[in-house]
Amino acid sequence: MRQARIAAAAASVALMAGLTACGGSDSAGGGGSDKDDLSPAQAVLAELKQASKNTDEQDSAKVESEQTQHTPQGEMSTKSEGALDWSGGGTTAEMTVTQQGAAAKKLPTSGKPMPAKYTEDAMYLNMGDDFASTAGKGKHWLKYDYDKLAEQAGPSGALIKDQMQNNNPARSVELLLASGKVKKIGAEKVKGKETDHYRGTLKVDELARMQSKKLTEKELDQLSDQLKQQGFKTQTVDLWIDGDDLLVKKQETAKGTNGDLDSTAYYSDYGTEVDVEPPAASDTLSFEDVLGSGS
């Protein structure tokens, strides 16, 4: 099942590329209140509302991220960098993704930077010449259709589809706003910038309900059960907001019985131009075709 193993490894990379950040509810709206009339807790929410609004209005940004997952097979680290655009309602991106660590050592993609493209309907990974000459049947790109991915992965796949199509940096801010469980840690510098640091800790069943705009109640219940079976009880979200009320850093941490998860992303160059074109169909193979080959 070498092809299936390669395809599954690629999916793991794609879903850890800094785009599947925790999502939120619909926009929380603007603040507009005089902070002098607010309690400390209300002032924090007002600040985050402004950050959500300002970040969302930028339409695009550059991103650098690293996600580390501790598994029974060892550590898996995925680094990504590139730019994403959410001006059209959905999310598109051009990224370069690199996977490494003990758990990735035996994978054919380990340690190799892979170009990745994210359109509103699918994600594409360039698996390189070795893949093209063997499992790729002469084609370099693997395509993961979001609808088909959702069908194969059940409730978690439906969540992935929603996040890949609707994710942008503002949604992380919206998540904390929707929870109401957020506190201001204080002033800190991030890459030389003065920022304010905020933190919230949420239960997985709350996350399941706040991370998607489109899941049914049944899917939400199933997703919550899946997360609990993996041993994830809570997730902590840390955000750093700069003087322009823009998100510049996000960190998410969760502890599970099968391994801990730690994800950090840095955002910069808001408003940057992002132009994403899917790869040529003649150089693209679908994820389902690789799985269906069964070798």
CATH code: domain of residue 40? 2.50.20.20
Higher pLDDT, 215 or 47: 47
Higher pLDDT, 95 or 288: 95
Domain assignment of residue 217, yes or no? yes
pLDDT of residue 1: 46
Domain assignment of residue 237, yes or no? yes
Backbone angles phi, psi at 262, to 5 degrees: -140, 120
The region that residue 271 occupies, defined by phi over 0 for left and psi between -120 and 50 for alpha, beta otherwise, is left
The two tokens of residue 128 are 């390189």
pLDDT exceeding 90 applies to what percent of the chain?
38
- Mean of pLDDT values over 3-27: 47
User: For 2-16, 143-157, 185-199, 230-244, which range has the lowest pLDDT when averaged over its residues?
Assistant: 2-16
At 257 the three-state DSSP class reads coil
Which pLDDT band, with edges at 50, 70 and 90, does 119 fall under?
A: very high
pLDDT of residue 215: 62
pLDDT of residue 214: 61
- Mean of pLDDT values over 107-130: 87
pLDDT of residue 28: 41
170-210 pLDDT tens trace: 888 887 887 788 999 999 999 999 999 999 988 776 766 66
- Mean of pLDDT values over 285-292: 83
pLDDT of residue 17: 47
The 3-state DSSP composition of the chain as helix, strand, coil percent (nearest 5) reads 35, 35, 30
Which pLDDT band, with edges at 50, 70 and 90, does 159 fall under?
A: low
Average pLDDT score, the chain: 80
Which of these, 60, 100, 97, 93, lies nearest to 80 by C-alpha position?
97
90 Cβ contact list (under 8 Å, min separation 6): 120, 165, 166
Domain assignment of residue 21, yes or no? yes
Domain assignment of residue 44, yes or no? yes
- What is the pTM (predicted TM-score) of this model? 0.84
Domain assignment of residue 185, yes or no? yes
Q: Which domain holds residue 10?
A: 2-287
**Number of domains within the chain:** 1
Domain assignment of residue 146, yes or no? yes
Q: CB of 46 within 8 A of CB of 33?
A: yes
Domain assignment of residue 24, yes or no? yes
At 294 the three-state DSSP class reads coil
Domain assignment of residue 292, yes or no? no
pLDDT of residue 32: 45
The two tokens of residue 223 are 């997703």
pLDDT of residue 25: 39
69-112 pLDDT tens trace: 877 778 888 899 999 999 987 889 999 999 888 877 777 677 88
pLDDT of residue 23: 41
